[in-house]
A = this chain, B = another copy of it.
Amino acid sequence: MRVEFHFDFGSPNAYLCHRVIPEIESRTGTKFEYVPVLLGGVFKLTGNISPAVAQKGIRNKPEYEALEMRRFVSRHGIEDFRMNPHFPVDTLAIMRGAIVARTTGCFEQYIDGIYRFMWSDPRKMDDLEIIRGSLSECSLDADAILEGLKDPKIKAELVRSTEASVARGNFGSPSFFVEDELFFGKDRLDAVEREIVSRTRYPLSPPSDI
């Protein structure tokens, strides 16, 4: 069974999911595949806008979204989440970097490192020199990754991945696919887990006598 997490480092709600995914992997025995998509590209392709923009000026709604973040953080015992003071961060470079890291075999280490400097020990991660220093601190080959960002194949792959995600129904972040079933939002993680469990029990379809 293929379970995908279509992520952009710039989405705080995607980060919160990233922190809970290991628990779901452990409970279900199913590994999530991380798929880099550029959220700005998703918004351009769909005409969607970020929650921060959509909620601006609406009474009570931003406060409620902040409350739901606190509830999620508290429920899952996440103690080191910090809103990035540079939000919204332009994630083009670090998302291209994710493609480079995936190609060069340091994908998981890169994801954990960049997420840390976005939402736990937050930095201005659209500044190439800050990215360079952050990668080095994570014992990643910063020069090689930054050099890779310029590769037209890397740029094209992020575009392709983003377009493919939207073609399958994505319109924002965080998004999950269990096979071809889309689930949107950190509050649907319970539903993602139920879907995995139900498909694990009946990988094709339920036996006819049930």
Contact = CB atoms under 8 A, between A and B. Distances in A.
Nearest to A175: B64
Interface of A: 45-48, 54, 57-61, 63-64, 67, 71, 166, 169-172, 182, 184-185, 187-188, 190-191
Given A58-B171, A166-B59, A64 B191 contact: no
B59 A46 contact: yes
A60 B67 CA distance: 27
Nearest to A185: B187
Contact of A169 (B60, B71, B166): B60
Given A46-B58, A59-B46, A171-B58, A64 B182 contact: yes
B184 A64 contact: yes
Nearest to A48: B58
